[in-house]
Amino acid sequence: MKKLQVYADRMSQPSRAVLILCKASGIDFEEIKVEISKKQQLSPEFEAINPFNKLPAIADGSFKLFESHAILIYIASAFPGVANHWYPADLTRRAKIHSVLDWHHLNLRQGAAPYVLHTVLAPVLGLPSNRQAQAEADKILTSSLSKIETIWLKGNGRYLLGSFQPSIADLSMVCEIMQLELLDEKDRNRILSPHKKVQQWIESTRNATKPHFDEVHNVLYKMKLKLSLQRSNQVDGMAESRIKTPLTSKM
């Protein structure tokens, strides 16, 4: 049988979650790069895999699937190499994981993704930034992180739902939060520093999936550096242009 094919863009947080699960579970799969910045997800070839033109998607033989949570569940269920803790067989533990995954959609994702988009990614992708959307996303993001800290990370374990080992819900939400790496360091600290448990949980998830976690996030780290250099050049540029501006122009 043909290898599992994973259509992914490592700049997309749900793509990364799927890739890390596959790598951490030793699944023999083929990564097919679809670059959102080049609008490759709109190609007819990819549309045949996912008619909604969204990433990630998979093809397991003739079976095609999209929506990252559905993919994570499918991979954890269909591939015997995936350790039980990612998606436990026990009905009640599984139900709680579904609950976190469902919550993710209209909470953390609704905050983190548009905040990063309107703060740093829109200009890179040639899209308009929207201040109001940014402010609303900031509120949802902050509130979601508080809820993760006080509700989902309650308990003795290092992971969501008081668990001692990560599940697909940890992977999905941590990859979402990792997108904040693209922000200016000061802004990222403002958002994350009040949430110590969240920070520890990100580290625990990174450690539980190393070296794959950093390997898959490497594209993001490079983009972070690029954006940070652009910002410092802008600041230098501004300082320079201020010096160059003749004093008389102020009058």
**Could you tell me if 13 and 54 are in contact, meaning their C-beta atoms sit under 8 angstroms apart?**
no
Question: How many residues sit close enough to a copy of itself to count as binding (CB under 8 A)?
Answer: 29
Write the interaction track for a copy of itself spanning residues 32-51; mark x where CB under 8 A is met and - where it is not.
Answer: -------------------x
**Smallest distance, Å, CB 12 to a copy of itself?**
14
Told to check if 105 binds a copy of itself by CB under 8 A, we report yes
Nearest residue (CB) to a copy of itself, 32 versus 65: 65
C-alpha to C-alpha distances, 248 to 196, 237, 238, 239, 241, nearest whole angstrom: 50, 20, 18, 17, 14
64 three-state secondary structure: strand
Told to check if 139 binds a copy of itself by CB under 8 A, we report no
Write the interaction track for a copy of itself spanning residues 55-94; mark x where CB under 8 A is met and - where it is not.
Answer: --------x-xxxxxxx-xx--xx------------xx-x
Told to check if 21 binds a copy of itself by CB under 8 A, we report no
**Could you tell me if 101 and 94 are in contact, meaning their C-beta atoms sit under 8 angstroms apart?**
no
Told to check if 195 binds a copy of itself by CB under 8 A, we report no
Nearest residue (CB) to a copy of itself, 127 versus 238: 127
60 three-state secondary structure: strand
Which of 23, 85, 98, 206 contacts a copy of itself by CB under 8 A?
98
Nearest residue (CB) to a copy of itself, 148 versus 223: 148
Convert 217-229 to b/e letters by CB count within 10 Å (16 or more is b).
beebeebbeebee
Q: Which has the closest alpha carbon to 14: 61, 62, 52?
A: 52
C-alpha to C-alpha distances, 36 to 65, 84, 112, 147, 228, nearest whole angstrom: 18, 33, 18, 31, 21
DSSP string spanning 80-108? TTS-GGGS-SSHHHHHHHHHHHHHHHHTH
Write the interaction track for a copy of itself spanning residues 197-216; mark x where CB under 8 A is met and - where it is not.
Answer: --------------------
Which of 4, 21, 24, 96 contacts a copy of itself by CB under 8 A?
96
Nearest residue (CB) to a copy of itself, 135 versus 219: 135
Told to check if 102 binds a copy of itself by CB under 8 A, we report yes
189 is written with which tokens?
């600290």
Told to check if 1 binds a copy of itself by CB under 8 A, we report no
Told to check if 147 binds a copy of itself by CB under 8 A, we report yes
Q: Which has the closest alpha carbon to 212: 22, 23, 13, 4?
A: 23
- Which residues form the interface with a copy of itself (CB under 8 A)? 51-52, 63, 65-71, 73-74, 77-78, 91-92, 94-96, 98-99, 101-103, 105-106, 109, 147, 151
